[in-house]
Amino acid sequence: MKKKIAVILGDGIGPEVTEQSIKVLNIIAKQFKHEFSYEHALMGAIAIDKTGNPLPDETIKICLASDAILFGAIGDPKYDNDPTAKVRPEQGLLKLRKELQLFANIRPVKTYETLQHLTPLKPRILENVDFIIFRELTGGIYFGDKTLSADGTVATDNCSYSVAEIERIAHLAFQYAQKRKKKLTLVDKANVLETSRLWRKVVQKIAGEYKDVTVDYLFVDNAAMQIILNPAQFDVILTENLFGDIISDEASVLAGSLGMLPSASVGNTVALFEPIHGSYPQAKGKDIANPMGSILSAAMLLDHLSMQKEASIVREAVDWCLSNKFVSKDIDALNSYSTSAIGDLICEYIEKQVTGEGHVHHERLHKSTII
Ligand code: IPM
Ligand code: MG
């Protein structure tokens, strides 16, 4: 297949992790006889530096003309502590989500046996954890009107949802649940918020169309606790924008590292794939960041392009790296592999598997162990 992929490297470690995903996509293309072409586009702090605009029009054009978008990360510390900044990198990503109508952000959460020691949770809590968060991405408080009084002492953020906005993501989430363990949990704050009551009403109505799916409802404060206390109870979590942002970072604790979680943002046009981690500015340019969240996002991209076999070999390669401890510094400080070495190993594994040359000779790649 011939596919055009828009690449937005973004800020911080975005470029170096995304570069590994491109290497992986190139190996997949070579081994499975696909043709992937890439067009780079600017977004975030780097786009502000180069053009004054966090999302140049050219980027939207490139994205709309592509079959999928691969995105790195956004954000720069120089804006984080400056609440008066008029232009912010994150505005680029929010605008892109809105412009491309990427209304559903899909974040799968699973645990890895080899990373269990990194989580502060007891191993029995991590058993059978495998769920997926459907976060609404183009509405709610993120996109409501914002005000600041003239004297700067009162601020507001409006949270609004329409039935149509809730329905379209709810249908997607129910359809996913039907293909999984057939359970959907709506996370809201219906005891307090009007928008949450609308979510409940709409979801209750839609549930009638998906009789094979069991639905339950959790207030977000309780859900935050349940994710840590009994995460195995979840299958598909459906929630609004802000709650989804918060609980998905929380859920990454279950995986052992934020660096492992991929995501897909889908909607009415082209879909976007990005790791859920941020720009990790402290690691920028050092070749130490974990590229697996990005590479697993590339696997989701392949799935989206109906390349399931290709996607599963990428996931298998990541699992193989983990079980051989080919991991980045944040996962194993003493025996770490660089971002690019992990990318190379994953590519080598894929190549050897597809060509049937057997396993990679990983002894060669082991570094000396400090005892
Ligand atoms: C995410 C991020 C973004 C969000 C930021 C960078 C605007 O935290 O994708 O989860 O809040 O949506
Ligand atoms: Mg977030």
Under the banding of pLDDT at 50, 70 and 90, the label for residue 361 is low
Q: Where in the chain is the domain with CATH 3.40.718.10?
A: 1-110+261-371, 120-255
Give residue 276 CA to ligand 2 midpoint distance, Å: 7
Mapping DSSP to helix (H, G, I), strand (E, B) and coil, where does residue 34 land? Answer: coil
At residue 280, the pLDDT reads: 96
245 is catalytic: yes
Under the banding of pLDDT at 50, 70 and 90, the label for residue 368 is very low
At residue 371, the pLDDT reads: 32
* Ligand 1 pocket, residues with Cβ under 6 angstroms: 74-75, 90, 93, 245, 276
At residue 369, the pLDDT reads: 37
Question: End-to-end CA distance of the chain, in Å?
Answer: 49
Q: What is the DSSP string of 258-310?
A: GGG-EEEEESSS--EEEESS---GGGTTSS-S--HHHHHHHHHHHHHTT-HHH
Mapping DSSP to helix (H, G, I), strand (E, B) and coil, where does residue 365 land? Answer: helix
Q: What integer is the mean pLDDT of 64-76?
A: 98
- Residue 137 pLDDT more than 60? yes
181 is catalytic: no
Which among 250, 245, 253, 295 is positioned nearest to 274, based on CA atoms?
Answer: 295
Which pTM value belongs to this model?
0.94
Could you tell me if 315 and 262 are in contact, meaning their C-beta atoms sit under 8 angstroms apart? no
- Residue 17 pLDDT more than 80? yes
Instruction: For residue 257, give every residue at least 6 positions away whose Cβ sits within 8 Å of its Cβ, in sequence order, or none.
Output: 115, 118, 290, 330, 331
Largest CA distance in the chain: 70
Which is it for strands 130-136 and 236-239: parallel, antiparallel or unpaired?
parallel
CA 241 to ligand 1: nearest atom: 12
Q: What is the DSSP string of 319-359?
A: HHHHHTT---TTT-SSS---HHHHHHHHHHHHHHHHHT--S
User: In the predicted model, what is the mean pLDDT of the chain?
Assistant: 95
Q: Which ligand lies nearest the alpha carbon of 90?
A: 1
Q: How many CB atoms lie within 10 A of CB 147?
A: 9
Could you tell me if 252 and 121 are in contact, meaning their C-beta atoms sit under 8 angstroms apart? no
At residue 350, the pLDDT reads: 97
The encoded tokens of residue 362 equal 């990983």
What's the pLDDT tens digit per position in 218-248? 999 999 999 999 999 999 999 999 999 999 9
Whole-number Å distance between alpha carbons of 319 and 167:
36
Could you tell me if 300 and 264 are in contact, meaning their C-beta atoms sit under 8 angstroms apart? yes
Q: Which stretches within the chain are classed as H helix? A: 14-32, 45-51, 57-64, 77-80, 89-99, 123-126, 163-179, 194-207, 220-229, 241-255, 292-304, 308-323, 339-355
Mutation probe of ligand 1 site: the residue of 76, 90, 263 with most atoms within 8 A of C-beta: 90
Q: Which ligand lies nearest the alpha carbon of 79?
A: 1
221 is catalytic: yes
Which run of H or E residues covers position 107? strand 104-110
Give residue 170 CA to ligand 2 midpoint distance, Å: 21
CA 248 to ligand 1: nearest atom: 10
Q: Which ligand lies nearest the alpha carbon of 279?
A: 1
Could you tell me if 90 and 130 are in contact, meaning their C-beta atoms sit under 8 angstroms apart? no
Whose CA is closest to atom 9 on ligand 1? 276
Give me the CATH topology for the region 1-110+261-371: Isopropylmalate Dehydrogenase (3.40.718)
Homologous superfamily assigned to 120-255? Isopropylmalate Dehydrogenase (3.40.718.10)
Q: What integer is the mean pLDDT of 84-97?
A: 94
Q: Which residues surround ligand 2, an ion (CB under 5 A)?
A: 245
Under the banding of pLDDT at 50, 70 and 90, the label for residue 362 is low
Whole-number Å distance between alpha carbons of 235 and 258:
20
CA 263 to ligand 1: nearest atom: 9
Which among 300, 216, 232 is positioned nearest to 263, based on CA atoms?
Answer: 300
Whole-number Å distance between alpha carbons of 319 and 303:
17
Q: In what order do the strands lie in the sheet with 35-40?
A: 35-40, 2-10, 68-73, 272-275, 262-266, 104-110, 130-136, 236-239, 183-188, 214-219
Which among 68, 71, 72 is positioned nearest to 37, based on CA atoms?
Answer: 68
Give residue 370 CA to ligand 2 midpoint distance, Å: 36
Under the banding of pLDDT at 50, 70 and 90, the label for residue 363 is low
- Active-site residue (options: 67, 130, 249, 332): 249
CA 245 to ligand 1: nearest atom: 10
Whole-number Å distance between alpha carbons of 318 and 295:
8
